[in-house]
């Protein structure tokens, strides 16, 4: 199977599992207020790249194709946490954005309070999915919950976001912008943490050995940095219609990015270097990493 066919197949399996595992728009009362579920699905089913689920499924496949099915709930939990972070990041008190995944942001389509709650609900739902679907394998359930919680906590995703907000405020108050070390801290936590967790969760489901899990974590760290540098490059160089989110925002907000610190050309080189480091780690993995290697390349050349 060629790369694009396989990528499309993994995305399609993710979409089907999302529909199955996240509470439906309730005609059925037990699922709770319809408006909340509509807001959750508005953001969740808006057609993101599904990168985190695909990384999890591909990592699981390293242990054999039979592990893909078992990894689907973990993949959906990762996408729920990611989508919550996007909804909250778009809120007026944070990035204040109108467009996400080519659609009005959650608070624009609904209202601020509903968007806040939809994010909260998706974050919580992620852990419900892990606890319920892996209940028959309690050690695996605990490991997955720990991995996702570690990635999403105050030291990583939320800590990175906080530091990002502080750096942005500093720029607005004419305090010197973030240094490259500070920027790396932000991106390792705001962006790379969830990509590391995606690969490791897939590896956990497949029962990979601790050394392989650490290699996945290392690969995820480099992929995460590469992904973020490409994000900075795209924000500075691509069009809003192509991105499905507002382009050119970083420069307008005076934000420190790889592009503002190093310039477009050097930022592109740094993304390529981080991708090469990710590829070197992926090549050490057991099983067949061909798809993950091609995915690393695709992440470098992506247009949105």
Length of the chain: 304
Number of H helices, E strands in the chain: 16, 2
Our finding on whether 49 is near ligand GRG (CB under 6 A) is yes
Neighbours of 218 (CB within 10 A): 18
Please select the residue that binds ligand GRG; options are 133, 191, 198, 215, rule is CB under 6 A. Answer: 191
Least separation in angstroms between CB 293 and ligand GRG: 19
**Whole-angstrom distance, CA of residue 291 vs CA of residue 4:** 10
The contact pattern for ligand GRG, residues 240-259, with x = CB under 6 A and - = no contact, is --------------------
Q: Measured over all CA atoms, what is the biggest interatomic distance in the chain, rounded to whole angstroms? A: 55
Least distance from ligand GRG to the Cβ atom of residue 17, Å: 16
Residues in the interface with ligand GRG (CB under 6 A) total 16
Interface of this chain with ligand GRG, residues 138 to 167, rule: CB under 6 A: 157-158, 161
Nearest in space to 45 (alpha carbons), one of 71, 74, 23, 73: 23
The distance of closest approach from Cβ of residue 118 to ligand GRG in the complex, given in angstroms and rounded to an integer, is 13
Q: How far apart are CA 196 and CA 154, in angstroms?
A: 16
Q: Does 190 bind ligand GRG (CB under 6 A)?
A: yes
- Taking CB under 6 A as the criterion, the residue among 125, 168, 196, 231 binding ligand GRG is 231
d(CA 151, CA 156): 6
Assigned token pair, 153: 């906590």
* Chain residue at closest Cβ approach to ligand GRG: 48
Q: What's the closest the beta carbon of residue 191 comes to ligand GRG, in angstroms?
A: 4
Would you call 101 helix, strand, or coil by DSSP?
Answer: coil
Of 228, 257, 260, 275, which one interacts with ligand GRG (CB under 6 A)? Answer: 228
Q: With binding defined as CB under 6 A, does residue 107 bind ligand GRG?
A: no
Instruction: Report if residue 85 touches ligand GRG, rule: CB under 6 A.
Output: yes
Closer to ligand GRG at the Cβ: 31 or 188?
188
CA separation for the pair 7, 96 (Å, rounded): 32
Contact between 103 and ligand GRG per CB under 6 A: no
Q: How far apart are CA 279 and CA 54, in angstroms?
A: 16
Residue 97 touching ligand GRG (CB under 6 A)? no
């Amino acid at each position: 199977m060629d790369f694009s066919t396989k990528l499309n197949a993994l995305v399609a399996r993710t979409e089907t599992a999302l529909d199955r595992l996240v509470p439906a728009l309730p005609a059925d009362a037990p699922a709770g207020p319809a408006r909340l579920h509509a807001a959750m699905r508005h953001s969740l089913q808006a057609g993101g790249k599904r990168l985190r689920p695909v990384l999890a499924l591909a990592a699981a496949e390293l242990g054999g194709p039979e592990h893909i099915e078992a990894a689907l709930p973990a993949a959906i939990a990762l996408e729920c946490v990611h989508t919550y972070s996007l909804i909250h990041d778009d809120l007026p008190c944070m990035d204040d954005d109108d467009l996400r995944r080519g659609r009005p942001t959650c608070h624009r389509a609904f209202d601020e309070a509903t968007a806040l709650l939809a994010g909260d609900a998706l974050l919580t739902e992620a852990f419900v999915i892990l606890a319920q679907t892996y209940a028959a394998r309690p050690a695996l359930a605990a490991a997955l919950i720990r991995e996702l919680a570690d990635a999403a906590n105050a030291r990583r995703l939320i800590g990175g976001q906080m530091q990002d907000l502080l750096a942005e405020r500093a720029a607005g108050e004419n305090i010197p912008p973030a240094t490259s070390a500070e920027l790396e801290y932000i991106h390792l936590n705001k962006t790379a943490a969830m990509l590391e967790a995606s690969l490791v969760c897939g590896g956990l489901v497949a029962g990979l050995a601790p050394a392989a899990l650490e290699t996945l974590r290392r690969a995820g760290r480099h992929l995460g940095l590469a992904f973020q540098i490409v994000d900075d490059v795209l924000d500075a160089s691509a069009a809003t219609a192509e991105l499905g989110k507002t382009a050119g925002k970083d420069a307008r907000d005076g934000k420190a990015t790889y592009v503002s610190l190093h310039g477009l050309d050097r930022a592109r080189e740094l993304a390529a270097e981080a991708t090469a480091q990710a590829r070197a780690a992926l090549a050490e993995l057991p099983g067949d990493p061909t798809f993950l290697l091609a995915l690393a390349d695709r992440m470098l050349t992506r247009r949105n």
